[in-house]
DNA sequence: AGCAAAACATATCATAGGTCAAGTTTTCTG
DNA sequence: CAGAAAACTTGACCTATGATATGTTTTGCT
């Protein structure tokens, strides 16, 4: 994808599942999106900093982490056509312990809190879109929670392997392990056993 | 509390932490709230049903559960001055596997999806309030997730005991255990060890 | 008050997954 | 393209928590 300017169809496609709005609405938003390319491994938001942007991933992947002891722990993996940010810090507009790292060279459309506030101040529609995003992120979190309580590590891995095989193969094992809530050693054993 | 009619101060107090609005705004909402009293142990929303209301708890407590094998698992405990509902089902407006049970005789102000939609259709402010609620629920979920990954069962219990001793004592051990992600037996051992 | 049922406690044993340590393979970087 | 560093694998051992079983206390109901 060589797109440098967002077009309204892209936005519509990303949001359609959560929130349907006419093309004209997306067209009013697109001029406020900023195209960015992040290099692999770049930390785009450090722990202790405040998140000021929401990125919509065009291509690539981004992880949200925090440190425990000497290891980073991954609480979210985001891929194309989904939002990425430290939403906790974004909502509260204050620093969080989370950091955000780019996992592959990644293209995003980025929008700032300031722009979002403008859009949601001036239009009901803008506000509804933000709400839809917040709700989608909540759903994602709760589904994660239920999976964590319901499935064993092996079952979680198999599920991911079945539902998102491409993502498993694109993403470093250590991150997949961490996202699944286990150590790289445990994942290695599981992979060995499963395949 | 013998309140039968909500007053705007109540709403303001509940939301102030997340979203500040003038009293007049809360006054426009209060007429749409319905006062309800639920008896202890009542299941107010069964698994397989769709959630159509959001309750704001005045007094009492409510839990959100799902079934695994033969045991209910608790994913949320809500107390006074907070929202309670199966938000997953509410957002998607479709049935979920979750059920909602009253843990003590509980007073709430209840508002229906229909009313919420009306309010958020007609006013920007209404919409912002809903968004604030969605964000608050997201934050709560993410904090739960981080605690679960960071702390041992014993640490989680100690934290809750320290920060919300009244809640621990008001709520059945089996629910606390489930909420902390462990069995009642494990909690029993931990309590024995800690005290 | 008195009985049944549910909740809670305690003990024993089982196991998923963690920790540590020593390879091997892959990926960067000059 | 070589050497270093990082990622991944494998193995031995450990521990927190689950499962099961049984006993005790509390709660709820007529």
- pLDDT tens-digit profile of B95-106? 999 999 999 999
Q: Do B145 and A141 touch (CB under 8 A)?
A: yes
DSSP sequence for A11-77:
HHHHHHTT----HHHHHHHGGG-EEEEE-TT-EEE-TTSPP-EEEEEEESEEEEEEEETTEEEEEEE
The secondary structure of residue A105, as a DSSP letter, is -
- Residue B30's alpha-carbon distances to A58, A157, A186, B10, in angstroms, are 43, 47, 53, 9
- A175 closest-nt by C1' vs CA: D7
- Spanning CA of A68 to C1' of D10, the rounded length in angstroms is 25
Residues of chain B with pLDDT > 70, as a percent, come to 97
Q: Are A81 and A18 in contact (CB under 8 A)?
A: no
Q: Do A141 and B139 touch (CB under 8 A)?
A: no
- Spanning CA of B89 to C1' of C3, the rounded length in angstroms is 42
CATH number for domain B8-124, candidates 3.30.980.10, 2.60.120.10, 3.40.50.12280, 3.40.50.2300 = 2.60.120.10
Confidence check: pLDDT of B186 > 70? yes
Residue nearest to nucleotide D26 (CA to C1'): B172
CATH class of A8-125: mainly beta
Band of pLDDT at residue A1, cut at 50, 70 and 90:
very low
3-state DSSP helix/strand/coil % of chain B, to nearest 5: 50, 25, 25
Residues of chain B neighbouring A148 (CB-CB closer than 8 A): 145, 148
* pLDDT per position as a tens digit, B133-167: 999 999 999 999 999 999 999 999 999 999 999 99
Choosing among A83, A98, A121, A131, which should be mutated to test the B contact, i.e. which has the most B CBs within 10 A? A131
CA closest to A117 among chain B residues: B128
Among A91, A146, A181, select the one facing B149 at the smallest CB separation: A181
Residue extents of the structural domains in chain A: 8-125
Nucleotides of C under 7 A from a protein CB: 7-12, 16-21, 28
Choosing among A91, A121, A122, which should be mutated to test the B contact, i.e. which has the most B CBs within 10 A? A91
The secondary structure of residue B40, as a DSSP letter, is T
**Per-residue model confidence (pLDDT) at position A17:** 86
Distance CA B102, CA A51 (A): 37
Confidence check: pLDDT of B40 > 60? yes
* pLDDT per position as a tens digit, A128-145: 999 999 999 999 999 999
**Per-residue model confidence (pLDDT) at position A166:** 96
- Residue B115's alpha-carbon distances to A125, B31, B53, B99, in angstroms, are 18, 11, 9, 22
Residues of chain A neighbouring B128 (CB-CB closer than 8 A): 120, 127
* pLDDT per position as a tens digit, A39-59: 999 999 999 999 999 999 999
Distance CA B7, CA B33 (A): 10
- Spanning CA of B156 to C1' of D23, the rounded length in angstroms is 28
- Spanning CA of A152 to C1' of C17, the rounded length in angstroms is 10
Distance CA A132, CA A153 (A): 31
Q: Do A138 and B87 touch (CB under 8 A)?
A: yes
Residues of B with CB under 8 A from a CB of A: 66, 68, 73, 75, 87-88, 91-92, 120-121, 124, 127-128, 130-131, 134-135, 137-139, 141-142, 144-146, 148-150, 181
* pLDDT per position as a tens digit, B162-181: 999 999 999 999 999 999 99
**Per-residue model confidence (pLDDT) at position B3:** 57
- The minimum CA-CA distance between A1 and chain B, rounded to whole Å, is 32
Residues of chain B neighbouring A68 (CB-CB closer than 8 A): 149-150
Residues of A with CB under 8 A from a CB of B: 66, 68, 73, 75, 87-88, 91-92, 120-121, 124, 127-128, 130-131, 134-135, 137-139, 141-142, 144-146, 148-150, 181
**Per-residue model confidence (pLDDT) at position A8:** 85
Nucleotides of D under 7 A from a protein CB: 7-12, 16-21, 28
Residues of chain B neighbouring A146 (CB-CB closer than 8 A): 66, 75
- Spanning CA of B183 to C1' of C11, the rounded length in angstroms is 16
Residue A14 CB-half CA count within 13 A: 25
Band of pLDDT at residue A72, cut at 50, 70 and 90:
very high
């Amino acid at each position: 994808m060589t797109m440098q300017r967002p077009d309204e169809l892209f936005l519509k496609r990303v949001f359609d599942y959560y929130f349907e709005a006419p093309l004209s609405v997306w067209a009013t938003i697109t001029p406020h999106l900023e195209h960015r390319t992040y290099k692999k491994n770049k930390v785009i938001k450090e722990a202790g900093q405040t998140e000021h942007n929401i990125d919509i991933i065009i291509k690539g992947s981004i992880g949200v982490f925090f440190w425990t002891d000497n290891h980073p722990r991954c609480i979210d993996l985001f891929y194309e056509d989904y939002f990425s940010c430290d939403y906790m810090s974004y909502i509260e507009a204050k620093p969080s312990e989370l950091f955000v790292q780019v996992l592959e060279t990644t293209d995003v459309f980025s929008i700032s809190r300031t722009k979002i506030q403008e859009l949601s101040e001036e239009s009901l529609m803008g506000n509804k879109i933000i709400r839809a995003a917040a709700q989608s992120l909540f759903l994602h979190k709760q589904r994660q929670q239920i999976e964590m309580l319901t499935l064993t590590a092996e079952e979680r891995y198999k599920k991911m392997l079945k539902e998102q095989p491409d993502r498993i193969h694109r993403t470093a094992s250590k991150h997949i392990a961490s996202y699944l809530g286990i150590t790289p050693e445990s994942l290695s054993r599981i992979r060995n056993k499963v395949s």
